[in-house]
Amino acid sequence: MPDTDRPLPDFARRLLGASVDDRTAALDSVHPDYAAMEADWTLLIDAFEGTGGFADGSYLWPYRNELHEDYARRQQMARYHNYVETVIDLYVRHVFTQEPSRQTTNVDLQDWWEDVDGHRTTITGFLRKAVALALAAGHAGILMDATPDEAIGPAKADQRSRPFLTAFTATAIPDWRAVRNNVTGIKLREAVPDNGIADPAPDDTEQYLLWDVEGWARFSLKGELLDGGLSELGVLPFVVLRPKPSVLKPFVGRPLISNGRMVKALYNRMSEEDQVLRDQAFSLLTVECLPDADVEAAKKQLGAEFGTQRAVVVAGKVKYESPDMEVPAGIRANIAQIIREIYRAAHMRFESDSLQAESAEAIRLQYTELNEMLLGLATALKDTELTLARFFFLWTEPTPEAADAAFEAAEVSVEYPEEFFLADLRVELDSWAQAIAMDLGHTMTQRIKKRAVRRLDPEISVEEVKVIDAEIDAQPKDQQAQIDGMSTRLRTDARLRLDAKQRLHGTVPLPEKP
């Protein structure tokens, strides 16, 4: 165990002063909200990853009176269709269709944005993964720690360590403390660092990491102190990413798919459909024998195997009994309904819904809900990035006061899209063209053109967008009037040519001479 005489936060000292049993009990304790929701969070994360009970079949509900061997066989054959991952990936792709605009005058922060975890992951790449986990279970945590590089001097200003980010799923945050939505204490379950390839694998795969405003400490699952120290940051460098914050429980969020039991029910319906089709959906060859016939002789005459390749001659009437196909049809209808409910829970339209007649108001409402959800997601990501930028300066400056001054001097700005184009592209372009034709002024015309650029090429880079925006801004105010005048002349000339052609072929009477 490390030297306990060195400075440690008060909570670590109190834990070390307790008995081993009391210490492990304190480390194993969880927040009441965690205890109430852990099973749902685990189910939703498994649904997103396709792991856990969806991989080993333990999420299947056994039938009444089902034999163990039959249940085990059904678990092996069960298939999982990952609609949760599909829906979440669509959200992530929508919100990151355009690279967020990040600006700062601080070169170190710019460099850190290119590698935020020590593994050459950009801030965008890291947040794409973190927000996917947050959408799955409702929230995810992001901790900014620093590498344990030795300092080149006695003061914090002399340190050579580099801040790095680690994401934690909802199930890896078993306990927390918060005051007015500010997290003041956190307990995390993190992976144990890997040994060398020639060393034996560690007995435990996880360990505890505890943080509060005063400092931090790591403990093994057995309650042994592994590491710890005091913090000079003045805050806990931990942020909770919540795309849909809970109204009643501010620390946690609401999952994108609000009820994981829908996903579990879909998994079971798929298995039930397979079993019905395998066991009940095949025709059965039957032979009707007379009451005084020798049934055993008929069985021998028919044989153990039969098919379409040879004829069968028996004493009695041979026919195929067709199965009732209403059962698998009903299961398929229920499967489609569950899939539809999953998409609707995510404010998205299921593909088959497009074949049904829907009012324009209903479609508009669906687009509005999805757009508002994406706006909320973009706002949560923006707030998270700004908080992480503040943490960066807390780690790299000698005092919290110097960190605040450095953040202000860095002029950090992060901008995500303020609206998302979800309607049909052609309709939008037609509407914008009509708006430009209405001569709403030079400023509005430029705004419409910039929106059209981003809609026509969602994958365009930030640098190219800046160049195109500058070109649009540089266009003279009377250029649009010239374009409109040219378009009017072209339409007039075309109409005159068409009229002349019609008159030539006699389809339009010539005007009377004056």
pLDDT digits (tens, 9 = 90+) for 458-488: 667 778 888 888 888 887 765 545 555 555 5
Predicted pLDDT at 301: 64
What is the rounded CA–CA span in Å between residue 298 and residue 246?
70
Mean pLDDT of 269-297: 73
pLDDT at 130: 96
One-letter amino acid of 26: A
DSSP 443: H
Model confidence, pTM: 0.72
| Least confident stretch, 89-103, 142-156, 178-192, 359-373 | 359-373
The Cα–Cα gap between 103 and 183 comes to 27
Lowest average pLDDT, out of 90-104, 285-299, 328-342, goes to 285-299
Residue 151 and residue 129: Cα distance in Å, rounded?
A: 32
pLDDT of residue 160: 52
Q: Which tens digit of pLDDT belongs to each residue from 225-238?
A: 999 999 989 899 99
Residues paired with residue 219 on neighbouring β-strands, in sequence order? 208, 225
Residue 305: Cβ within 10 Å count:
7
Q: List CB contacts of 324: < 8 A, sequence separation 6 or more.
A: 280
Give the whole-angstrom CA distance, residue 31 versus residue 153: 40
- Nearby residues of 464 by Cβ (< 8 Å), 6 or more positions away: none
The two tokens of residue 271 are 């298995």
Helix, strand, coil fractions of the chain, as percent rounded to 5: 50, 15, 35
Q: How sure is the predictor about 503, in pLDDT bands with cuts at 50, 70 and 90?
A: low
**Order of strands, edge to edge, in the sheet holding 182-191?**
175-179, 182-191, 206-212, 215-219, 225-230
Q: What is the mean pLDDT of residues 490-501?
A: 57
Q: Measured between alpha carbons, how far is 257 from 145 in angstroms, rounded to an integer? A: 31
- Cβ contact 245:253 at 8 Å: yes
For residue 278, name the pLDDT band (cuts at 50, 70, 90).
confident
Segment (H or E) for 414: strand 413-415
Q: Is residue 290 helix, strand or coil?
A: coil
Give the list of residues 6+ apart from residue 400 with CB closer than 8 angstroms, or none.
233, 234, 235, 394
pLDDT for 355: 43
Torsion of CA 121, 124, 125, 131, to 10 degrees: 130
Average per-residue pLDDT in the chain?
80
When pLDDT is cut at 50, 70 and 90, the band that residue 510 belongs to is very low
Tell me the average pLDDT across 296-317: 59
pLDDT at position 471 is 85
Confidence of residue 224 (pLDDT cuts 50, 70, 90): very high
Q: Residue 99, Cα to own-chain centre: how many angstroms?
A: 17
Find, among 321, 323, 326, the residue nearest to 280 by Cα.
Answer: 323
Closest residue by Cα to residue 124 from 93, 90, 100, 140: 100
246-275 per-position pLDDT tens digit: 888 889 999 999 888 999 999 999 998 888
73-87, 316-330, 381-395: least confident range: 316-330
Q: What was the pLDDT predicted at 97?
A: 80
In this predicted structure, the answer to whether residue 129 has a pLDDT above a threshold of 90 is yes
- Per-residue confidence (pLDDT) for residue 209, from 0 to 100: 96
Count of other CB atoms within 10 angstroms of residue 286: 11
29-33, 114-118, 322-326: least confident range = 322-326
Q: Which percentage of the chain shows pLDDT scores above 90? A: 45
3 state DSSP class of 289: coil
Per-residue pLDDT at 359? 45
pLDDT at 441: 74
Q: Distance (Å, rounded) from C-alpha 193 to C-alpha 76?
A: 33
Query: How far apart, in whole angstroms, are the C-alpha atoms of residue 20 and residue 257?
Result: 41
Q: What is the signed CA dihedral for 222, 224, 225, 227, rounded to 10 degrees?
A: -70
Distance CA 43, CA 84 (A): 11
Which is nearest to 265 in space by CA: 324, 336, 329, 326?
Answer: 336
Q: What is the pLDDT of residues 386-444, one digit of tens each?
A: 999 999 999 999 999 999 999 999 999 999 987 665 544 445 555 656 666 666 777 87
Q: Which residue has the higher pLDDT, 251 or 348?
A: 251
For residue 491, the model assigns a pLDDT of: 55
Alpha helices by DSSP H, listed for 192-325, are: 260-279, 295-302
Report helix, strand or coil for 421.
Answer: coil
Q: Tell the burial category of 324 from Cβ atoms under 10 Å away from its Cβ (0-12, 13-18, 19+).
A: exposed
Q: What is the pLDDT of residue 132?
A: 96
